[in-house]
Amino acid sequence: MTEARPLTISDLAARTGLRPDTVRYYERVGLMPEPRRTSGDHRRYDDLAVDRLQFIRGAQRLGLRLHDIRDLLAVRDTGECPCEPAEPLLRSRIAEIDAELDRLQHLRADLVAMADQLPSATCPDPVPGTWCPPDHRVTEGRCDACSI
Amino acid sequence: MTEARPLTISDLAARTGLRPDTVRYYERVGLMPEPRRTSGDHRRYDDLAVDRLQFIRGAQRLGLRLHDIRDLLAVRDTGECPCEPAEPLLRSRIAEIDAELDRLQHLRADLVAMADQLPSATCPDPVPGTWCPPDHRVTEGRCDACSI
DNA sequence: CTAGAACCCGGAGCCGACTCCAGGGTCAAG
DNA sequence: CTTGACCCTGGAGTCGGCTCCGGGTTCTAG
């Protein structure tokens, strides 16, 4: 069977697409438990560690923060399914993402409007002056109300 | 005329919705030129400084980074309209935003799928195991391929 | 003239998630 | 046993954009 043979930290890292430093970092911040060590103080891991790191990666892919992932892991460690506490977490991340999408869509629209009018209108009179977002009207090469 | 009477750093900050610390910070990083000083070494500003900070705020509103804004200001300082160099900058920011929107939309879809299936399926067997993104099929409470 | 608000400066701290470093020690293949 | 790849630690650095601090100085209204 493919049991036993313990993994070094870089074996583990390689299997999970991380770097050894990152694994040590996860240990420091409490995502990974302290592993057993060789007599020479080198970390040795088993497949549970691989599983745990994959859980972390999966949760990260879902846009969760290490802070939240730590909480889910704590639940998981009790032997319970982390789904129950995960759902509100996911819902609130969705809300955050919606807010960010909204912000970016508005921003994008502003940028496009700005970029489109740039080559033509605003530039007749190369004078140092205010250069404004597109929702501020420009009169005679100058911005009316650039109070933001 | 509303000329002359020079502004202290907090006057300037108040007029532009910033804090004095922020203005000093902008000076440190090269966005604002060194202003003149009183004999006691206090900064004194004029309306050009207000204009400049408004330009900075406007460009920030468009999602430009201080680094880029500094470049635009450098052009503006030559007396030229910063539009010419601004356009490619804006276009590349738009591309970045598109990439980010894309990422967030995928992420959102994954989160929703995950959150929707949480209360039901995945949880029949509260065993510590892998908990995976929704595009990885789950068989008998376990994930087939959770290699990211 | 005096009180108290505002200013000065350099540097540190914050957020998140790493990443890298130096200066050692250890492991395993040959 | 040697060699070279790997590992250890604690701490610092990175990115961006501020924000705050302490200890000292200056400005200004009354």
Q: List beta partners, residue B37.
A: B43
- Among the partner-chain residues B72, B104, B119, the one whose CB lies closest to the CB of A87 is B119
Residue B52 has what pLDDT?
94
ipTM: 0.79
Q: What is the mean pLDDT of residues B121-135?
A: 52
Out of A81, A112, A118, the one facing B86 most closely (by C-beta) is A118
User: What H or E segment, with its residue span, contains residue B10?
Assistant: helix B9-16
**B6 CB less than 7 Å from any atom of strand D:** no
Read off the pLDDT of each residue in B110-134 and give the average, rounded to a whole number.
Answer: 64
CB < 7 A contacts with chain C (nucleic strand): A 19, 21-22, 24-25, 38-42, 60, 65-67; B 8-11, 20, 24, 37, 41-43
pLDDT tens for each residue of B91-102:
999 999 999 999
Give first-to-last CA distance, chain A, whole Å: 67
| Chain A 14-43 contacts with nucleic strand D (CB below 7 A) | 20, 24, 37, 41-43
CA–C1' A45–C25 (A): 20
Of A87, A85, A57, A81, which is closest to residue B129 (Cα–Cα)? Answer: A81
What is the model's pLDDT at position B141?
Answer: 42
Domains and CATH numbers, chain B: 9-117 (1.10.1660.10), 123-148 (no CATH)
In angstroms, the Cα distances linking B92 to A110, B70, B72 are 14, 16, 15
pLDDT values of chain A reduced to their tens digit, one per residue, 148 residues = 545 689 999 999 999 999 999 999 999 999 999 999 999 999 999 999 999 999 999 899 888 999 999 999 998 888 777 777 888 889 999 999 999 999 999 999 988 888 887 766 555 444 445 665 555 544 444 443 333 2
Q: What is the three-state SS of B73-127?
A: HHHHHCCCCCHHHHHHHHHHHHHHHHHHHHHHHHHHHHHHHHHHHCCCCCCCCCC
Cα dihedral sign, B74-B76-B82-B86: positive
pLDDT of residue A94: 93
User: Using N-to-C axis directions, what is the helix angle for A83-117 and A66-77, rounded to 10°?
Assistant: 160
Among candidates B123, B133, B136 on the partner chain, residue whose Cβ is nearest the Cβ of A81: B123
Using one digit for the tens of pLDDT, what is the confidence trace for B49-93?
A: 999 999 999 999 888 999 999 999 998 888 777 777 888 889 999
Cβ contact B96 with chain D strand, < 7 A: no
The rounded distance, in Å, linking the Cα atoms of B57 and B31 is 12
Q: Which residue of A has its CA nearest to B125?
A: A81
DSSP state of B139: E
